[in-house]
Amino acid sequence: MSEEVRRELLTGYGATPEEVEFLLEERVELNALTSEQLVALVERKLTAYGLKKVVPDEDLLAETYRAFHRSDELREEFEDLMATMEESTIKVPKNLEQKVRAILTKHPDLRWDDAIRTVLDPNALDHVRADKQKAKRKSGDFSYDDDGEEDEP
């Protein structure tokens, strides 16, 4: 690509004449920047274009406020309940590792903590898989489900 074409492109992208000259003469590698420098660069450019933080509407703000409030109350209740439970009353199977390994051999898509949940409740496997799919969808991962078939969004 000719220098003139690159100059026009850079100008079209909003580069100042000084930035155009610098970019035409110097090689710039974003991965040469530290994380802090890259974040500062992106924030500077977003601010220059007038972008601001998104704040949702009143309904969503109120709903989220109530959800955090309930979560805080539930956490306090849970901590109080946990304080009353004796650790010694929970019996761990002596062959827990063997059971976990057997489940992971049969279901290699599971994590070890999923296998423990399944040891604790053999009927939990479907629930564990459903929770994994829900988490994948929430994260924006629509790639493949646990059966190897492509998920539909």
Q: Tell me the whole-structure pTM to 2 decimals.
A: 0.43
% of the chain residues with pLDDT over 90: 45
SS3 labels along the chain: CCHHHHHHHHHHCCCCHHHHHHHHHCCCCHHHCCHHHHHHHHHHHHHHCCCCCCCCCHHHHHHHHHHHHHHHHHHHHHHHHHHHCCHHHCCCCCCHHHHHHHHHHHCCCCCHHHHHHHHHCHHHHHHHHHHHHHHHHHCCCCCECCCCCECCC
Residue 151, pLDDT > 60, answer no
Residue 145 has a pLDDT of 52
Residue 88: pLDDT band (50, 70, 90) is low
Candidate from 22-31, 61-70, 74-83 with smallest mean pLDDT: 22-31
pLDDT digits (tens, 9 = 90+) for 7-25: 999 999 999 999 889 888 8
Please state, in angstroms and as integers, the Cα–Cα distance from residue 99 to each residue in 18, 89, 91, following that order: 66, 21, 15
Residue with tokens 């802090």: 36
pLDDT digits (tens, 9 = 90+) for 103-119: 999 999 899 999 999 99
Residue 149 has a pLDDT of 46
Residue 72: pLDDT band (50, 70, 90) is very high
Decide which of 141 and 60 is more confident.
60
